[in-house]
């Protein structure tokens, strides 16, 4: 007689890009943060087995998802039309605008994007923050391409800002506020974009998309979402 074989539960291997506090953080070698805890709680509500985390630079997440190195992206990723052409998204789980951060106590205190003209501005590659710099400043002729400094990770940009190598950084407002708490930087102003974050899944992977949406609804209903929001944002 044939030995009964167990069919392994289908998996969700998740990809993220640490260095984006408080959403994804590497602390003493441990991956944590709002997205990390929220996504694990969501998968626990589904019939999928959590297959662990893989870490990438933000810009490498969509290629990794498409190549099936990961099954989902949990990386404070804004749902955009451009991304929606190549991957699918869950329902939105967080809202954010952009912000501009500068050195705390420094001479440069911009009040609007126009004030960034002629300055050195840092962004993380492939982000909506980079999109704001491209469309609102460079394409408008207010900033030279050479005045944009592109980093693989915002943490490196913050170091460069503290060292005086750049004048400002454009990044998601909740992350700008967190860096302002932790580092020698301050939020100069907020630039409203009305972005919404979603978890990425492969195009036409409607099974995982549906499971994640149902899991998200479940953690909203059972209070876990609110608990994590309080834990990581205090609101
Ligand atoms: N929300 C921004 C984007 O989607 C930044 C995300 C990130 O850097 N992790 O581009």
Residue 9 reports pLDDT greater than 70: yes
Decide: 123 in ligand 1 pocket, CB within 6 A: no
Closest CA to 231 of 33, 19, 27, 31: 33
Decide: 76 in ligand 1 pocket, CB within 6 A: yes
Distance CA 157, CA 164 (A): 11
pLDDT bin (cut points 50, 70, 90) of residue 8 is confident
Which atom of ligand 1 is the closest one to the Cα of 124?
8
So what's the ipTM on this one?
0.98
pLDDT bin (cut points 50, 70, 90) of residue 190 is very high
Q: Are 199 and 93 in contact (CB under 8 A)?
A: yes
Decide: 130 in ligand 1 pocket, CB within 6 A: no
CATH architecture of 11-93+198-233: 3-Layer(aba) Sandwich (3.40)
Residue 5 reports pLDDT greater than 90: no
Decide: 78 in ligand 1 pocket, CB within 6 A: yes
Same fold, 11-93+198-233 and 96-195: yes
Partners of residue 191 on adjacent β-strands: 98
Q: Domains of the chain: which residue ranges? A: 11-93+198-233, 96-195
- The reply to whether omega before 22 is within 30° of 0 (cis) is yes
CA dihedral (60, 134, 108, 101) positive or negative: negative
The 10 Å Cβ neighbour count of residue 146 is 7
Mean pLDDT of 169-189: 98
Mean pLDDT of 179-201: 98
Q: What is the mean pLDDT of the chain?
A: 96
CATH architecture of 96-195: 3-Layer(aba) Sandwich (3.40)
Which atom of ligand 1 is the closest one to the Cα of 20?
9
């Amino acid at each position: 007689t044939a030995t009964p074989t167990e069919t392994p539960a289908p998996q969700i291997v998740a990809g993220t890009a640490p260095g984006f506090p408080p959403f994804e953080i590497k602390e003493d070698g441990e991956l944590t943060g709002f997205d990390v805890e929220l996504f694990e709680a969501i998968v626990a509500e589904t019939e999928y087995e959590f297959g662990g985390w893989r870490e990438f630079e933000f810009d490498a997440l969509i290629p990794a998802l498409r190549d099936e190195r990961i099954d989902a992206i949990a990386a404070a990723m804004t749902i955009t039309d451009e991304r929606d052409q190549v991957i699918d998204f869950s329902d939105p789980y967080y809202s954010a605008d952009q912000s501009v951060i500068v050195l705390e106590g420094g001479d440069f205190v911009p009040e609007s994007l126009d004030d960034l003209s002629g300055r050195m501005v840092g962004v993380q590659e492939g982000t909506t923050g980079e999109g704001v710099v491209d469309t609102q400043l460079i394409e408008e002729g207010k900033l030279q391409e050479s005045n944009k400094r592109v980093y693989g990770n915002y943490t490196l940009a913050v170091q460069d800002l503290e060292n005086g190598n750049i004048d400002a950084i454009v990044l998601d407002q909740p992350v700008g506020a967190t860096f302002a708490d932790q580092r020698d930087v301050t939020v100069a102003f907020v630039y409203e974009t009305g972005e919404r974050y979603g978890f990425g899944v492969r195009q036409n992977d409607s099974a995982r998309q549906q499971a994640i949406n149902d899991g998200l609804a479940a953690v909203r209903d059972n209070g876990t979402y609110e608990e994590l929001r309080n834990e990581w944002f205090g609101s």
